[in-house]
A and B are shown apart, each in its own frame.
Chain A
Amino acid sequence: MNSWIVSHLWLIPAVPFAASLIILSLSNARRKSAAALALFGQALALALSILAFVPTLQFPGFRSVQNFTWFTFGEETLRLGFVLDPLAAVMLVMITLVGLCIFLFSVGYMADDKNFTRFFAYLSFFSGAMLGLVIANSLLLLFIFWELVGLASYLLIGFWIEKPTAAAAAKKAFITTRIGDMGFFLGMLWLYGRSGTLLFYDGGSGCLESAGLAMLSASATFIALLIFCGAVGKSGQFPLHVWLPDAMEGPTPVSALIHAATMVAAGVFLVARVYPIFSVGAVNGVTSSLTVVVWIGVTTALMAALIAIAQADIKRILAYSTVSQLGLMMVSLGVGGVAAGIMHLLAHGFFKALLFLGSGSVIHGCHGEQDIRKMGGLRRLMPVTFMTYAAGMMALSGVPFFFSGGWTKEEILHATAHWPRSHAPYYLILAGVVLTALYMTRQIIYVFFGYTRAAAERSHESPRVMTIPLIVLALCTIFFSVVLTPAWPWLHGFLTGEPVHFDITHLIQPMLFVSLVLVSSGVGVGYWIYRKAGVQNEDRAAEIDPLEYAQPALFRFLANKMWIDELYDRTVIAFSWMGARLSDWMDRYLWDGLVRGFGAIGQLFGIFTTSVDERGINAGVDETTAGARGLGRMMSAAHSGQIQMYLGAVAIGMLALLLLYAWLA
């Protein structure tokens, strides 16, 4: 039974894809069957993923590979394949479980949308593409699914296509990630040129196995960095993070899916998957490519956390927190804590889906309002949303002991503290942890505490179809900690293949106190700054942020996202505009001028010949032309201008030639 699913791994992505295709063929009115199909497909994929998870528990370092030949071209054979290992298995379960919750939530959230069926078709497609990405055993196959994920995100971010901002955001997401994908593609070609295979594992000759890695030698650094470009684009790392906050224009379940289970997870997953290429020639676990990963991650984590403090849109704050957390994961991967990074990715998947769905519930309750300054006091009006949201907030802030995010963040801090090259990333991400606690406290205070402001007045708790996924995800967030604690780091051992022992004395680590101090200081400072937020003050209007009041210039800098979008507008985009204008000018004046010049020469020659003609003209020519004109009139009747009539005549002519040929032969 177990080996059956291991050898039919392709079924897992195939199920949501099939569901998506069937839903697409349904009419718009079949809303119930569309939702049922999508949910059923996702549930089936979850069941299959759990079935596939079971055999990986048999022994540490389990890996099963199914390779097949795509096509043969001359001497070359292009092979693709699927792989099942602990990394793929945990990702499969997380994606399908979180996906199922989000699908269920969408049934309630999108209930009034006129394109309900199309939405579920896209969602299923998204989840199928991500599942395929996770089990791909070939960089090419991974790339194919990677692009399908990109396509699905484009379709979903721009789902409300009649909103111009949504259409622009979808385009921005697609093009920005495409810049990274270009690097990914080049890295893939280089890798193929060097090692001659794109299969990850192939009985010893795959590109991630020792024989393949030995062939890379010095180029490994560049290949790794090029592949990392793809991860930077997909996972919203600096400097390609600009698309992620704009992607909030999509429906909230889409944001949850993009930020938790699919899409942005793909970049981190990619780095973890091809980690052997990054660590070729490592001394003490440090290589130059991994150092780049660390610094990109640190920059992203800190910058996004700072920007998040000054945002007013509930979903944008979460978007920047995702960017920041992804930076943290990249740091963890870069310093060698692959297992810690993946654990944080999984924990993040649960609590970020929870937070996004919670924000969706808030937005739903506030009738589409997304500005946190106009909410407030929702604690009493939406108790279930508040409780689950608080759980997600504490996991994201890294509150230790009860919340999965706390344990994984600690693990990352632990890995970073022992990085031999520099201690700066460690201290910088400590600052990031404080900032995370700070902006989440700000959000919670604005949305759930204090006085009820304009948008929240007529709000209500969401229907059960939306609260049940929230409760499930909150429970996942809390009970996921069981396999994360240092006392019994089962998941860590499962991912690294090391044996694990239960030892309660390991539960209390020095790092626990560090993160306890950091988180409580973040929450404390946040409470102190924002305790009066949204309240009219003697010298401050209610809608002005306390930080804005204290530091207007700094606040403006952060609220405008450090002017990175404007910088890109002035540089990259202005540059391509200039290129386009230059080409336009060249086309209009240079080439056109040349053509006109030749035309003028012809004209001069024409004037000359005209005069010759006119002098040498005779009546005979007139006669001939009259005849020709008559003939021409006759022929022109056949020229109806109907292109298909011409094509038909050609077809008939060809048929006639064929018949003639058959007759003669």
Chain B
Amino acid sequence: MTPTLQVFLIVSAAMFSIGLLAALSRRHAIFILIGIEMMLAAANLNFIAFWRFGPQHQPPIGVMIALFSIAIAAAEAAVGLAMVIAVYRHYHTTNVDQLDQLRG
């Protein structure tokens, strides 16, 4: 099978859906973070795929955007994990069902 844009988009959509499912259904905050990371990865894949199969692809542009996005994702993961730790210290749980102090 030759790699076409469709293949990448389907893979990316699948990754996004899996990530979304994880973020929606898991109760542990870290698994939700993992789901979010998967959605980000799916978006990165789209970046690369559209750049690669787009009308003009100068060498670094698409990769560069993906690299930046990976760096931002890393920062986000660090902040997210730090928040999970802070939340855990405060509430002694990471189950998001029980973290509903912001309810109306």
Residues of A within 8 A of B (CB): 73-75, 635-644, 647-648, 651
Interface size class of B (residues with CB under 8 A): 10 to 19
> In the bound complex, do residue A638 and residue B97 qualify as a contact, i.e. CB atoms below 8 Å apart?
no
Complex Cα gap A638–B103 (Å):
9
> In the bound complex, do residue B63 and residue A73 qualify as a contact, i.e. CB atoms below 8 Å apart?
yes
A640: chain B residues within 8 A (beta carbon)? 100, 103-104
B101: chain A residues within 8 A (beta carbon)? 641
> In the bound complex, do residue B104 and residue A643 qualify as a contact, i.e. CB atoms below 8 Å apart?
no
**Known contacts A74-B60, A638-B104, A641-B100, then 20 further A-B pairs from the complex at CB < 8 Å, ordered by chain A residue:** A73-B60, A73-B63, A74-B63, A75-B59, A635-B104, A639-B102, A639-B103, A639-B104, A640-B100, A640-B103, A640-B104, A641-B102, A641-B104, A643-B96, A644-B23, A644-B32, A644-B96, A647-B23, A648-B24, A651-B24
Tell me, rounded to whole Å, the shortest Cβ–Cβ distance linking A58 to chain B: 43
- Judge whether B99 is part of the interface by a CB distance below 8 angstroms: yes
B96: nearest chain-A partner, CB-CB: A643
Q: Which of A73, A637, A641 has the most CB of B within 10 A?
A: A641
Interface residues as binary, B88-104 with A (CB distance below 8 Å gives 1, 0 otherwise) = 00000000110111111
Tell me, rounded to whole Å, the shortest Cβ–Cβ distance linking A338 to chain B: 40
A73: chain B residues within 8 A (beta carbon)? 59-60, 63
| 7 tightest Cβ-Cβ pairs between the two chains A and B | A636-B104, A641-B103, A641-B100, A639-B104, A74-B59, A74-B60, A641-B102
A651: chain B residues within 8 A (beta carbon)? 20, 24
Complex Cα gap A304–B99 (Å):
54
Complex Cα gap A643–B96 (Å):
7
A641: chain B residues within 8 A (beta carbon)? 99-104
Complex Cα gap A640–B60 (Å):
45
Complex Cα gap A636–B102 (Å):
10
A632: nearest chain-B partner, CB-CB: B104
Tell me, rounded to whole Å, the shortest Cβ–Cβ distance linking A647 to chain B: 6
Interface residues as binary, B41-62 with A (CB distance below 8 Å gives 1, 0 otherwise) = 0000000000000000001100
Complex Cα gap A637–B96 (Å):
19
B32: chain A residues within 8 A (beta carbon)? 643-644
Tell me, rounded to whole Å, the shortest Cβ–Cβ distance linking B87 to chain A: 11
A638: chain B residues within 8 A (beta carbon)? 104
A71: nearest chain-B partner, CB-CB: B63
Tell me, rounded to whole Å, the shortest Cβ–Cβ distance linking B67 to chain A: 9
A643: chain B residues within 8 A (beta carbon)? 32, 96, 99
B104: chain A residues within 8 A (beta carbon)? 635-641
Q: A73-B63, A637-B104, A638-B104 are in contact. Are A644 and B99 (CB under 8 A)?
A: no
B100: chain A residues within 8 A (beta carbon)? 640-642
Complex Cα gap A641–B24 (Å):
14
> In the bound complex, do residue B99 and residue A647 qualify as a contact, i.e. CB atoms below 8 Å apart?
no
B99: chain A residues within 8 A (beta carbon)? 641, 643
> In the bound complex, do residue B60 and residue A642 qualify as a contact, i.e. CB atoms below 8 Å apart?
no
A75: chain B residues within 8 A (beta carbon)? 59
A654: nearest chain-B partner, CB-CB: B20
29 contacts between A and B (CB under 8 A): A73-B60, A73-B63, A74-B59, A74-B60, A74-B63, A636-B104, A638-B104, A639-B102, A639-B103, A639-B104, A640-B100, A640-B103, A640-B104, A641-B99, A641-B101, A641-B102, A641-B103, A641-B104, A642-B97, A642-B100, A643-B32, A643-B96, A643-B99, A644-B25, A644-B32, A644-B96, A647-B23, A647-B24, A651-B24
Within 8 A of A (CB), among B15-34: 20, 23-25, 32
Complex Cα gap A643–B80 (Å):
14
Tell me, rounded to whole Å, the shortest Cβ–Cβ distance linking A111 to chain B: 35
Complex Cα gap A642–B103 (Å):
7
Complex Cα gap A635–B25 (Å):
25
B21: nearest chain-A partner, CB-CB: A651
Tell me, rounded to whole Å, the shortest Cβ–Cβ distance linking B45 to chain A: 16
A635: chain B residues within 8 A (beta carbon)? 104
A635: nearest chain-B partner, CB-CB: B104
Tell me, rounded to whole Å, the shortest Cβ–Cβ distance linking B100 to chain A: 3
Complex Cα gap A644–B35 (Å):
12
A648: chain B residues within 8 A (beta carbon)? 24
Tell me, rounded to whole Å, the shortest Cβ–Cβ distance linking A473 to chain B: 44
A651: nearest chain-B partner, CB-CB: B20
Q: A73-B60, A74-B60, A75-B59 are in contact. Are A644 and B24 (CB under 8 A)?
A: yes
B104: nearest chain-A partner, CB-CB: A636
A639: chain B residues within 8 A (beta carbon)? 102-104
Q: Which of B23, B60, B104 has the most CB of A within 10 A?
A: B104
Complex Cα gap A73–B64 (Å):
9
B24: chain A residues within 8 A (beta carbon)? 644, 647-648, 651
Complex Cα gap A644–B103 (Å):
13
Complex Cα gap A125–B102 (Å):
46
Complex Cα gap A123–B103 (Å):
50
B96: chain A residues within 8 A (beta carbon)? 642-644
Tell me, rounded to whole Å, the shortest Cβ–Cβ distance linking B1 to chain A: 22
B102: chain A residues within 8 A (beta carbon)? 639, 641
B25: nearest chain-A partner, CB-CB: A644
Complex Cα gap A641–B100 (Å):
4
A75: nearest chain-B partner, CB-CB: B59
B97: chain A residues within 8 A (beta carbon)? 642
Tell me, rounded to whole Å, the shortest Cβ–Cβ distance linking A661 to chain B: 15
B60: nearest chain-A partner, CB-CB: A74
A642: chain B residues within 8 A (beta carbon)? 96-97, 100, 103
Complex Cα gap A461–B101 (Å):
63
Tell me, rounded to whole Å, the shortest Cβ–Cβ distance linking A616 to chain B: 30
B103: chain A residues within 8 A (beta carbon)? 639-642
Tell me, rounded to whole Å, the shortest Cβ–Cβ distance linking B103 to chain A: 3
Tell me, rounded to whole Å, the shortest Cβ–Cβ distance linking B44 to chain A: 15
B63: chain A residues within 8 A (beta carbon)? 73-74
Complex Cα gap A74–B62 (Å):
11
Complex Cα gap A75–B59 (Å):
8
Complex Cα gap A636–B100 (Å):
13
Complex Cα gap A637–B101 (Å):
14
Complex Cα gap A638–B102 (Å):
12
A636: chain B residues within 8 A (beta carbon)? 104
Complex Cα gap A458–B20 (Å):
62
Tell me, rounded to whole Å, the shortest Cβ–Cβ distance linking A585 to chain B: 21
Tell me, rounded to whole Å, the shortest Cβ–Cβ distance linking B22 to chain A: 11
